[in-house]
Amino acid sequence: MTQDQPTRLKAMRQMATQQAPTRQTTTRQMPAFVPCERCPLRRKAAFMQKDEKEVSFINGLKSAHLRFAAGSQLIQQGTEEPNLFTLFSGWAFRHKSLPDGNRQILSFLLPGDLAGLQATLQAEAEHGIDALTDVELCIFPRRKLLDVFEKAPALAYDLAWLGSREERMIDENLLSVGQRGAAERMVALILGLYRRAEHLDLVENQSFLFPLTKQHLADALGLSLVHASKTWSSLQRLNIFTYADRRLTLVNPRATERIASYFDRDWRVRPIL
């Protein structure tokens, strides 16, 4: 604004990331197609249990089951995306960038989360989605969407429900980025991911896989890389959590929630496509 040209050259990082594996260059191996009727994910307690008929209808929508390597661009900002997908395994994140290269991570995706709804109902994606770890996706072509609304109203309702859940999570992130200090913000993010992982039975002994780099943290929290790193260290010094082997262990989740003014959302079972 004041200084126009000498923009914060975080753009460099962006360039670097750019040449990271893109969709094309990605090893897109061919795992076995997992039919929804035998999907281990949807059997988890976190998800709504549907009757056979509905599950097989969903299976009819599913056009492929793909695997991508960590770092792959699953959806590219500014392109038209003909599919939506449910994350079958792994982590991913939605993000949006400014022309100067600054990137904001909008939300994280965990197994069972549906992605591309926004992009799908609109014409083209205004955000990108990248794989944070190796991932597997259940692909649904978006042209079948209208069918869903016409032939399976209950499913359509689920779709809308998932969209609204996603929006609530972004609301929370916006609240965080706008109103919490750096440390509180980071704790709130970690707690949110912890609770979601917990709900998917991904937590053992208050410890879970935490694949974010410092750069991801910074981009999600609206902090600089350096400050994110410092905040991270200070939280460890405060004995909020420990980190080893890509696994993060919360020392005292409930006490930590108070510190960050974190509030548990309602964790009712949710639909899964």
Partner DNA sequence: CGGCCAATTGACTGGCGTCAATAGGGGTGG
Partner DNA sequence: CCACCCCTATTGACGCCAGTCAATTGGCCG
> Is the Cβ of residue 62 or residue 127 nearer to a second copy in the bound state?
127
The option from a second copy, DNA, none interacting with 164 (CB < 5 to 8 A, set by class) reads a second copy
- Region near DNA per CB under 7 A, out of 41-49, 154-162, 196-204, 217-225: 217-225
Q: Going residue by residue from 7 to 26, which x/- string records binding to DNA, judged by CB under 7 A?
A: -xxx-----x----------
The option from DNA, a second copy, none interacting with 48 (CB < 5 to 8 A, set by class) reads none
Q: Going residue by residue from 227 to 246, which x/- string records binding to DNA, judged by CB under 7 A?
A: xxxxxxx-------------
Q: Phi and psi (nearest 5°) for 34? A: -100, 110
Q: Going residue by residue from 54 to 93, which x/- string records binding to DNA, judged by CB under 7 A?
A: ----------------------------------------
The option from DNA, a second copy, none interacting with 143 (CB < 5 to 8 A, set by class) reads none
> Is the Cβ of residue 126 or residue 204 nearer to a second copy in the bound state?
126
Q: Which of 139, 156, 183, 259 binds DNA (CB under 7 A)?
A: 183
The verdict on 15 binding a second copy (CB under 8 A) reads no
Q: Phi and psi (nearest 5°) for 239? A: 65, 35
Choose among 200, 199, 197, 177: nearest CA to 246. Answer: 197
Least CB distance to a second copy at residue 93 (A): 13
Least CB distance to DNA at residue 60 (A): 40
Restricted to residues 117-146, the positions that interact with a second copy (CB under 8 A) are 117-118, 121-123, 126-127, 145-146
- Quick one: three-class SS letters along the chain? CCCCCCCCCCHHHHHHHHCCCCCCCCCCCCCCCCCHHHCCHHHCCCECCCCHHHHHHHHHHCCEEEEECCCCEEECCCCCCCEEEEEEECCEEEEEECCCCCEEEEEEECCCCEECHHHHHCCCCCCEEEECCCEEEEEEEHHHHHHHHHHCHHHHHHHHHHHHHHHHHHHHHHHHHHHCCHHHHHHHHHHHHHHHHHHCCCCECCEEECCCCHHHHHHHHCCCHHHHHHHHHHHHHCCCEEEECCEEEECCHHHHHHHCCCCCCCCCCECCC
Beta-carbon-side half-sphere exposure of residue 183 (alpha carbons within 13 Å) = 15
Angle (CA) 259-244-202 rounded to 5° is 70
Q: Which of 233, 261, 267, 269 binds a second copy (CB under 8 A)?
A: 261
Residues that bind a second copy (CB under 8 A): 1-2, 4, 94, 96, 98-100, 102-104, 106, 117-118, 121-123, 126-127, 145-146, 149-150, 153-154, 156-157, 159-161, 163-168, 170-175, 177-181, 183-184, 187, 219, 221-222, 259-261, 265-266
Footprint of DNA (CB under 7 A): 2, 8-10, 16, 181-183, 213-215, 222-233
